[in-house]
Amino acid sequence: MLQKPRGTRDFLPEEMEQRREIEMRMRSVAQNWGYREICTPTFETQELYTIRSGEGIINEMYVFEDKGGRKLALRPEGTAAVLRMYVNEAKVLSKPVRWCYLSDCYRYERPQKGRYRQFWQFGAEQIGADTPAGEAEIILLAYEILKATGVRFTFHIGHLAPMKHLLSDLSDVHRKDIMALLDKKNFDGLQKYLEEINAESLFASLKSLLECRTIDEALKICGDMPDKERMCELIKILDSQNIEYRLNLGIVRGLDYYTGMVFEGFADNLGAENQIIGGGSYRLAHLFGGEDVASCGFGIGFDRVMVSIGEFNPQKPPLVSVVYTPDVSDFSFSIAKIFREAGITTELNLLERGIGAQMKHAAKTADYAVVIGKREAKSGKITLKDMKSGEQKELSADSAISVIRGVK
C-alpha cells in the first residue's frame, strides 16, 4: 500500500470544514481592512530565496532542476514571492499596496510534532507606506485576524531601534553574535562574549532593555536615538486602540531582515513550539530589481493556529438526502436539481438501496429526508421528514425549501 510522503498530511472532510471556516474568518477580516487576496507560484527560482538569506538556506528547502536546467525551489515562505510579484507586476499601483494570501509552503527538515514539510501560512503585506500609521495598521490587522479565529494568544510588540542604537559601534559580525545570544536568553554567554570583544560595559544596558515594559524606560537607557519619534508615535497609536500586548524590546530575530517595528504572537496552549505569528517592517523590493520601498507584513502559522483551537463544529448548511424508489429516479434527480439550485446541499442514493436502508443512512448523515415514491411523483410533490424531530409532511418542492431555510 502506498503511503503519503513523509512530513505531509491528509485532511478528511471534517478537518477540511474546520480549516475552511478559519480561513474564511481570516480572509473576511483582511478584506474588511482593504487587503485583497493574491496568489504566487508554488515554485520560484532558487535565487529568490538565496539572494537574501545566502546559499546556506538551500539545505532547508525543497530544491530541484527542471528539464531546462533551471534551479528552482518550492516556496519556504510567502513574503519573498509577494515582493517579487510586486516588482514584476505592480510597481505602478497607487500606494500603499495592501495584499493578503494563504499559501502552502515547504521546508526540508526532519518532521516532528507540529512541524511538517508541507505547511500553510496566512500572510499580509503592505507596500509603500513608510509611516508609523502604516506599521500600526499591519499590527492591528494581525491582532484582529487572530482574534477572529478564536485562538487564545499573547501579543509581543517591539522595535529594533533601541537595540541597534546600543550596538551601533560594533561590527555586523559582533551584532549578529550578540543577537543570537540574546535570542536564547543566554546571559552568561553574552557576558563572556562582551568581555572577549571589550564591550562588557554594554551588558547591563542590554539586559535592562530586555526588561523594559514601557517606551519611557527604554528611552532612559538609550537616550536620544534615531527613530525615537517614529517609535513613540507607533506606540501612541496602538495604545489608543486598547489592544492587549506586551512591549518586548528583546525581539531580536531577523535583525538583518527587519528594519524597525517587529512583533510576535504566541498561542497560550502549545507549549514550547507556540509562536503562531511573526512580522515587522522590512525592505526587500530592491533585492529583486525594484526601487527601495518600505514594506511591512506578517505571516501566521495556520497549522499551529488550528492545533491551538482544537476540534470544533463549524456552522454548516442543512443537508438533504433524497430517498426514492428505483421507478421514480428521473423525478428524484429533478427534485434534487431544484434543491441544489436553491443553494441547499443535497445528495441522492447511488447504491440501489431499499427505502429502509436509505432512511437509516439519512438518519446518520442528513438533517432532512426528501422521500419520493410513485404517489409523490404522480402528484408532483415530495414528503419532507425532519430527521431530528421525526415530523414529516407532504409539500411542494418550493414549500419544502422554505421549511428547510426556516422561512415562516
Binding site, annotated residues = 77-79, 107, 121, 125, 253, 257-258
Angle value at C-alpha 37, between 118 and 313, nearest 5 degrees: 65
DSSP category for residue 115: B
Gyration radius (Cα) of the chain, Å: 28
Phi-psi region of 252 (alpha: psi -120 to 50; beta: other; left: phi over 0): alpha
Number of residues assigned to the chain: 408
The residue among 103, 126, 122 whose CA lies nearest residue 276 is 122
Instruction: Classify strands 319-324 and 345-348 as parallel, antiparallel or unpaired.
Output: parallel
Q: What is the DSSP string of 347-370?
A: EE--S---HHHHHHHHHHH-SEEE
Distance from the first to the final alpha carbon of the chain: 53
φ, ψ (nearest 5 deg) of residue 251: -70, 105
Q: Which residues are annotated as a binding site for L-histidine?
A: 77-79, 107, 121, 125, 253, 257-258
- Number of alpha helices (DSSP H) and beta strands (DSSP E) in the chain: 15, 16
